[in-house]
Amino acid sequence: MDSNRKGHRLDENNESLRQAEHVDELPVDSDVEVDDIRPARPARPVHLRWSYVGIVALGGAVGSGVREALSLVIPPLGAFPMGIFVINITGAFALGVVLELLRRLGPDEGHRRRLRLLIGTGFMGGYTTYSTLAVGTATAITGGHAVVGIFYALISVIAGAAAGFAGIAAAAEAHRWGTTPKGQAQ
């Protein structure tokens, strides 16, 4: 009976070794880097890695700086904060383009993940601003321009969603053009 137990243990160890050799064939959790899958150590999620946090912080710092510069250059139209409106709409479009292109280029890993975190989460997260939209709406409403404030809030959400969809559609079409074999109609 001991020999059966030992044989069973050897089979379990051999199975573990076989599984460890074929780690690359396993499905990948999108929050875990493939390179970090090691049988001896559990992988850390992306949001717990300082290198990825740094990538997001760098993108966010640049995006926030660009937003501030544009908000100073684009003047408000009366009580309507045109600068923040333009920033949020262009940001929604650009985010749609970036995420759709990255999705079509392959799985969210390696350099594509770093680009998504740098541009999508970092830069676009810093560039666009929901909090300033909310403050602009509240300022317009409490400043006696309730119609402008409500219009600003509604048009920002509607136009932002439309711009995001348009960005996705534009990236999908651009990708289609780039993958159509030469000589075929586009």
- For 87-137, the pLDDT digits (tens) are 999 999 999 999 999 999 888 888 899 999 999 999 999 999 889 999 999
Please calculate the CA angle 128-132-138 and round it to the nearest 5 degrees. 145
Give the pLDDT confidence score for residue 176 in this predicted structure. 86
Question: For residue range 153-178, what is the model confidence (pLDDT) as tens digits?
Answer: 999 999 999 999 999 999 999 988 88
**pTM metric for this prediction:** 0.71
Res. 32 pLDDT band, cuts 50 70 90: low
Give the integer Cα–Cα distance in Å for 125 and 119. 8
Question: Which residue, among 129, 157, 156, 163, has the nearest Cα to 60 in the 3D structure?
Answer: 129
**129 annotated binding-site participant:** no
Question: For residue range 43-96, what is the model confidence (pLDDT) as tens digits?
Answer: 777 777 788 899 999 999 999 999 999 999 999 999 999 999 999 999 999 999
The answer to whether the beta carbons of residues 115 and 59 sit under 8 Å apart is: no
**137 annotated binding-site participant:** no
